[in-house]
Amino acid sequence: MTPGEADPLHVHDLTVAYRDKRVLEDVDLTIPAGRLVAIIGPNGAGKSTLLRAVLDLVPRVSGTVEIFRRRYREQRRLVAYVPQRNSVDWEFPTDALDVVMMGRYGTLGWLRRPGRSERDAAMRALEQVGMAAYAGRQISQLSGGQQQRVFLARALAQNAQIYLMDEPFAGVDAVTERAIVDLLSALRSEGKTVVCVHHDLDSAPYYFDWAVLLNVRIIAAGPFSEVFTPENVTRTYGGSLSSFGRLVRGMSAAVG
Amino acid sequence: MIFSDLLFDYTLRNVALGSALLGIVSGVLGSFAVLRKQGLLGDALSHAALPGICLAFLLTGTRAILVLLLGAAITGWIGALLLIRIVRDTRIDEDAALGIVLSTFFGFGIVLLTFISKRNDANQAGLDRYLFGQAAALREENVVTMAILGAVALCVVFLFYKEFKLATFDPEFAASLGFATGRLNVLLTSLIVIAVVIGLQTVGVVLMAAMLVGPAVAARQWTDRLGVMLLLSSFFGATAGVAGAMVSVTQARLPTGPMVILSLTLIVVVSILFAPRHGLIVDRVRRWRLAGARS
């Protein structure tokens, strides 16, 4: 695979290790523009680490990451990040609007303070996820799903081209799930690229159009209909799923 | 009568001003430490300052306060950086790392303190007052030094408020935006070192941690906004400082540092019990009403 003219994300020969254990090995990955991509794999497969390595948050043993054919560090503004919801302490003394405004801090840069335009951008982002009514709500008073939507709004406020999301569907209510699905298709229709770590094999083919099957190494990557085969899933999970047979059957039915 | 003393009595004025300054600075910086779950960082830092005071005295032979405080700042800072490195580069957790740094540096400091006091040097007396502070010995130039140091620390917090807030709430996201979170961490820790240095003469190395944690914990009870929390926290710190100073200077020779800490404890207890939204009593009443409604 060679990076095409406008490939938003290109990962080459990426290896990441925590102490002596390799969590990602020789990862080569090219994601085309305008796709909704699910990264799928068992626990410990390195899914979150792949996102974090792209964002330069973990040291790499080897490898390069290119965003639209240039190094990530030069293209930071084009990449938005939605960390796992439980990665922060929601008891922090602030409200939803303030958290969403943090999405503008990168563009503001050092020392400059957020003002009216950052506020307006944050309000628009909250509206997009159906959370405008909660702008002034203390963040610990929000439900898990609402907190997730605040995080999504913060990424929207970054106004990026690529959105990297770490398990946005984890433990959310039906309203939030609907809101995220709508948001993903809205982003796709704007030509943006979304890469999500996703745990649920059942829903994956319905929400996403591209799959990356990962277990330390890339097992397969491509359109769902091509790569989401029982053989590939078996190779990815290595029989570690208890309800495995049922899943594989359901999956074949879903992809058709 | 007491208030006119506050203005005109030289000792009382210096003690009260010094304690208030300490309360303001430690209230602001302690808020960040508490929100970052590093409440004990100040404890490790202040204990690590003790060997610095002794080394500064041994090397220079002077008891000039600026020299001693510089020594305190240096070893306090080394202790803090050591702590950050241990947590980052080893499998040792933060609480265990704090224990290691705190007791090692403090033990070394006590050894030096004992060594100095056994030398029978005419000049040696009085270093042990940095253990619990001796605010009554504060002179006007000390208070001015504290004010300058505190103003510098508060200006830095004001400048980097947005960055500190972001890196405290969500350090990974801050890093993904391109903010140097490692450097912000070192900067914030250095500011806490300044707060500790300001507190050495007033409350001393042993009680300093309470000055960082107490005002912040009390303030968090009353508000859900970071900016308000910083203001309230410095207000509580200053109030405890002035109250402790007034009690200790006007009443029967009580020690200032411990009196400041006790005043602070009172504020903390009242806040935890009576705060309108997060207070224990409101919480109990709420539960009691819920239980009543159900039956």
Q: Residue A150 in contact with residue A83, Cβ under 8 Å? A: no
User: Which residues of chain B neighbour A73 with C-beta distances below 8 Å?
Assistant: 178
| Structure ipTM | 0.90
**pTM of the predicted protein model:** 0.90
> CB neighbours (10 Å) of residue A14?
23
Task: State pLDDT tens for residues A2-59.
Answer: 444 578 999 999 999 987 889 999 999 999 999 999 999 998 899 999 999 999 999 9
Separation of alpha carbons A48 and A50, rounded Å = 5
Rg of the Cα trace of chain A? Answer: 18
Tell me the nearest-neighbour CA distance from B177 into chain A, angstroms: 5
Res A243 pLDDT > 80? no
CB pairs under 8 A between A and B: 72
Q: Pick B35's closest partner by Cβ from A92, A111, A112.
A: A92
d(CA A28, CA A44): 18
Contact between B260 and B202 under an 8 Å Cβ cutoff? The reply is yes
Q: What is the mean pLDDT of residues A216-225?
A: 93
Nearest-Cα distance to chain A for B225, in Å, is 5
Q: Which residue has the tokens 């610990």?
A: A140
CA nearest to B167 within chain A: A102
Q: Do A106 and B178 touch (CB under 8 A)?
A: yes
Q: What is the secondary structure of B238-260 as a DSSP string?
A: HHHHHHHHHHHHHSTT--HHHHH
Rounded distance, CA B124 to CA A219, Å?
72
Say which amino acid occupies A202.
D
Chain A, nearest residue to B172 by Cα = A57
Q: Which residue has the higher pLDDT, A6 or A208?
A: A208
- With CB atoms and an 8 Å threshold, state whether A113 touches B162: yes
Q: Cβ separation of B175 and A83 shorter than 8 Å?
A: no
Q: What's residue B286's pLDDT? A: 86
What residue ranges in B100-198 does DSSP mark as E strands? none
pLDDT of residue A245: 53
Residues A92-143 pLDDT 10s: 999 999 999 999 999 998 989 999 999 999 999 999 999 999 999 999 999 9
Beta-bridge partner residues of A11:
A29, A65
% of chain A beyond a pLDDT of 70: 91
What are the two backbone dihedrals, phi and then psi, of residue A25, each rounded to the nearest 5 degrees?
-135, 125
Question: How does pLDDT run across A71-101, given as a tens digit for each residue?
Answer: 998 899 999 999 999 999 999 999 999 999 9
CA-closest candidate to residue B25, choices B239, B233, B242? B233
Point out the residue among B160, B175, B220 whose CB comes nearest to the CB of A93: B220
- Chain B residue with CA closest to A100: the answer is B166
- What DSSP assignment string belongs to B123-148? T-TTTTHHHH--GGG--HHHHHHHHH
Q: B213 by DSSP, 3-state: which?
A: helix
Of the candidates A57, A93, A94, the beta carbon closest to that of B176 is on A57
Residue of B166, B225, B229 with shortest CB distance to A105: B166
With beta carbons under 8 A apart, name residues in chain B contacting A113.
161-162
* pLDDT value at residue B223: 95
Nearest CA in chain A to B221: A93
Closest CA to B76 of B171, B165, B209, B260: B209
Show which residues on chain B lie within 8 Å of chain A, measured between beta carbons: 35, 37, 159-163, 165-166, 168-170, 172-179, 220, 223-226, 228-229
Mutate to test the interface with A, among B177, B232, B278 (most CBs of A within 10 A): B177
Q: Do B177 and A99 touch (CB under 8 A)?
A: no
Q: Which residue of B has its CA nearest to A95?
A: B225
Residue carrying structure tokens 């005419």: B122
Provide the pLDDT for residue B88: 82
**How is residue B62 annotated by DSSP?**
-
CA distance B186 to B67: 23
Chain B CA closest to residue A107: B177
- Residues A191-207: pLDDT tens digits? 999 999 998 888 899 99
Q: Provide the pLDDT for residue A1.
A: 40
3-state helix, strand, coil in chain A (%, to 5): 40, 25, 35
Which chain B residues are closer than 8 Å to A52 by Cβ? 172
Beta-bridged to residue A24, according to DSSP, are A16
Q: Which residues of B touch A114 (CB under 8 A)?
A: 162
Which residues of B are less than 8 Å from A134 in CB distance?
none
Q: Residue A57: its chain B contacts at CB < 8 A?
A: 172, 175-176
- Residues in chain A closer than 8 A to B35 (CB atoms): 92-93
In chain A, which residue's Cα lies nearest the Cα of B91?
A19
Beta pairing partners, A223: A210
The whole-angstrom separation of Cα A1 and Cα A243 is: 35
State pLDDT tens for residues B192-208: 999 999 998 889 988 99
Contact B224 A56 (CB under 8 A): no
pLDDT at residue A5, as a whole number: 56
Q: Which H helix or E strand runs over B41?
A: helix B41-60
Element (H, E) at B195: helix B181-200
* Shortest CA gap B269–chain A (Å): 20
B32: nearest CA in chain A? A92
CA atoms of A33 and A191, how far apart (whole Å): 7
Q: Which of A79, A93, A113 sits opposite B225 (nearest CB)?
A: A93
Query: A76 and B178 in contact by Cβ < 8 A?
Result: yes
Closest Cβ opposite residue A88 in set B159, B169, B176: B169
Nearest CA in chain A to B181: A57
Which domains are present in chain B? Answer: 15-294 (1.10.3470.10)
Cα–Cα distance, B171 to B183 (Å, whole number): 12
CB-CB neighbors (< 8 A) of A87 in chain B: 170, 172
Instruction: Give chain B's residues under pLDDT 70.
Output: 1-8, 120-125, 252, 293-295
